A and B are shown apart, each in its own frame.
Chain A
Amino acid sequence: MSESLLEVRGLDVHYGDAQALWSVDLTVGPGETVAVVGPNGAGKSTLVNAIAGLQPTTAGEILVAGTDVSRLVPHRVCASGVAIVPEGRRVFAQMTVADNLALGAYRPAARREHRATLARVQALFPRLAERAGQLAGSLSGGEQQMVAIGRALMARPTLLLLDEPSLGLAPVVVDEVYAAIAAIAESGVSVLVVEQDVPRALAVSQRAYLLSEGRVATTGTPAELTDSAEVRRTVLGL
């Protein structure tokens, strides 16, 4: 589909001599929200990191709006409109919330409008405005997650990647996070969510992929995957 915003074709990733991804194919259309679920060690984070430029790839292509970002130097990937909320948040702990958010708008296209974007992010996460001067490392897990998402939004992405956003968070907080994700998707940004919490991810997406042991095991609509015995077997091991 040349209409796709994101197209991953035949992607292989190795860690040294261990192969983590085998010929992965995946697409995300403009304005679509896609979920990638699967057990731990399946390669979900590897996939997302590869798309964002954080992980070198061995073979295959990653096309964002037609440009192959897999061959680019890491710091050039975001120019294609990709922004990531990494696994475990990875906020800049020794910098304030305000600085973390500002850093998100580092790339020139985002920098020009960073004030307007900041206002929108603060409207989405009011707590970030309250805690603007606090060091990001001193925040709770949920608040750090908001900083990480806010930071990614500051880059004005066309494709937002979220790596396990519910990781280690209380259900109430996860509710807030996913409400925000839904709002973001509504604003027209394409979203790729990687998750262990299968129902949450399926509830917010239009299509989903099941990744298992480095390969795409199955793909379909959320309804199809929820009822799938294969999903239960792969994720729960039952």
Chain B
Amino acid sequence: MTIAQAALTGALIGGLYALMATGLSVTWGVLRVINLAHFAMILLGAYLTYQLATSTGLDPILTVLITGPVLFVVGAAVQWAYDRLHVAEFTSLLVSFGLLIIAIQAVTLIWSADFLRMPGDINPYATESWTVGRFVFPVTTVLAFGLALVLVAALHLVLRRTFAGRGMRAIAQDRAVAAAFGVDHQRLSLVLGGVAGASAAAAGMVFALTNALSPTAAYEWFGIVFAVVILGGIGQVVGTFAAGVAVGVVSAVVSAAWSPATAPIVLFSAIVLALVLRPQGLFTLRSVVGAGR
């Protein structure tokens, strides 16, 4: 595979990374909750896609019409629980870790620890691709990129242009004053939790299209997703997308040029460097550092 092709495929896969990371990044930035259970929702999304497609013969891409709403409710419910129990910041990391462990084990019990892959007759997308000139565009990666683009554009518009979006950004900075102007933080957090859940469903669906599923896949996503969230700037939607693409390109190019196993090293060294040199994220457009008391 040429480097150029690797970069292209990597950029497209970056869409999947962005799709996984955006929900986590937004709930972290706006609600100050680090929800590791987000990975559980992606995992569930993937397994539900598999189950629905293989049991009912439904086109795997269409299963997201079912899994999306289901995980929207799950995401909102988890966020509601965090609010009721006053779980935030650091505690949320621990509690959600516990939930993640439980979810992974539940998945193992229901679907077994064996690798599961949708057969070709149910999932024709895994091998399809479009060729334009010298470049090959695998269909699943294009789908991932497209969905991510849609999600990011929608969230960006909502956060920037709508009242609800402004309300969300306001509660991240000064919840009390925002409330004085009528912003109901609990309702917004339910919506945001739900949106994160739905995006997890989409990410899981895309993952199931190209990969064999195993319960421990959730752990493997940790590294990439946190890299994308931190490099993109916590809570920065467009930054997260850019970071996802960048991570995808770098991983793919490094894998092609050296070996697949080198990619994690490069990636994590990049996170460390990013945290040290530019803690607000590589792709954050602007932030006011040191303003106010």
Contact = CB atoms under 8 A, between A and B. Distances in A.
B120 interface: no
Interface string B169-191: 11001101111111111000000
Nearest to B165: A99
Contact of A95 (B163, B170, B176, B184): B170
A150 interface: no
Interface in A90-110: 90, 92-95, 99, 102-107
Find the residue from B177, B180, B184 having the highest chain A CB count within 10 A: B180
Contacts of B170: 92, 95, 103
Contacts of B292: 93, 137
A49 B173 CA distance: 18
B86 interface: no
Given A95-B173, A103-B166, A135-B286, A53 B291 contact: no
A181 interface: no
Contacts of A54: 176-177, 179-180
B286 A75 contact: no
B67 to A, nearest CB: 33
Contacts, number: 82
Contacts of A107: 181-182
A81 to B, nearest CB: 11
A151 B181 contact: yes
Nearest to A89: B292
B75 interface: no
Interface string B77-108: 00000000000000000000000000000000
B193 interface: no
Nearest to B173: A92
Interface residues of B, number: 23
A203 B7 CA distance: 69
Contacts of A137: 288, 291-292
B293 interface: yes
A37 interface: no
B244 interface: no
B288 A78 contact: no
A29 interface: no
Contacts of A106: 163, 166-167, 181-183
B181 A78 contact: yes
A30 interface: no
Contact of A138 (B163, B288, B293): B288
Contact of A75 (B174, B182, B287, B288): B182
Given A93-B291, A135-B288, A138-B291, A77 B180 contact: yes
Interface string A95-139: 100010011111100010000000000000000000000010110
Find the residue from B170, B177, B287, B292 having the highest chain A CB count within 10 A: B177
Contacts of B167: 103, 106
Given A92-B173, A102-B163, A78 B291 contact: no
B164 to A, nearest CB: 9
Which 5 interchain pairs have the tightest Cβ spacing? A137-B291, A137-B288, A107-B182, A74-B179, A75-B179
Given A78-B180, A92-B173, 4 more contacts: A75-B179, A84-B180, A95-B173, A135-B286
Interface of A: 52-54, 74-79, 83-84, 86, 88, 90, 92-95, 99, 102-107, 111, 135, 137-138, 151, 155
5 contacts: A54-B179, A75-B183, A93-B292, A94-B287, A106-B167
